[in-house]
Amino acid sequence: MYDRFGKRALDVAGAGLALVMLAPLLLLVALAVALALGRPVLFRQERAGRGGVPFTLIKFRSMRDGPGEDAERLTRFGRALRASALDELPQLLNVLRGEMSLVGPRPLPMAYTACYSPRQRLRLAVRPGLAGVAQAAGRNGVPWEDRLELDACYAAAPGPTLVRDLRALLGTAMILLKRKGVSAPGHATMPAFGGSAISRREN
């Protein structure tokens, strides 16, 4: 019952309330991005949603425009924005539109779906989320194989429950407060996923 009805009701209520309460903060962050990086303020990218259906994810921009690797385009301001996760707040609109949930696997680029093993594809059975079990385990500090397995476990039967979602929300909040897992070791954010030994063996 929670997965079919309650979860979506909480998503709409939670995202709507958060957008109203955080409106002044959203405006301040938008102004800071405009001053530090210029326009556009928002970054848009196609990501894989539930069932692998593409949708346009929105977040505050944290990198300069132009050529170069992520590490070269990520400014001190952008690093601070990502560490605080304030850049993710516009995704509350994705939640209201039904493309995302407050809790679920993080939405990843469409190109990654071809690299998943059958087990890893289970993550596509649920809506992607702002917070999640992999986020609570350490955000980008968690290796891809472990991260995708956590997502698969979350999506597998019996599926999401209220208790698991509340634990994921609390765990993600604690990780954010501790500023842990902002990036993978040796990377500005997270290295691209090109498949793992497990996914190559199972495909």
Q: What are the tens digits of pLDDT across the range 99-120?
A: 999 999 999 999 999 999 999 9
159: domain range?
2-185
Q: What is the pLDDT of residue 178?
A: 81
Q: What is the pLDDT of residue 194?
A: 84
Inter-axis angle of helices 23-37 and 7-21, to 10 degrees? 70
- Asked if the structure places residue 109 within a domain, the reply is yes
pTM of the model: 0.87
pLDDT tens digits, one per residue of 42-76? 999 999 999 999 999 999 998 887 655 666 778 88
The SS3 assignment for 28 reads helix
- Asked if the structure places residue 161 within a domain, the reply is yes
- Asked if the structure places residue 193 within a domain, the reply is no
Report how many domains make up the chain. 1
- Asked if the structure places residue 101 within a domain, the reply is yes
Work out whether the CA dihedral 159, 100, 56, 44 comes out positive or negative. Answer: negative
CA distance to 59, 108, 120, per residue, from 86 (Å): 9, 18, 28
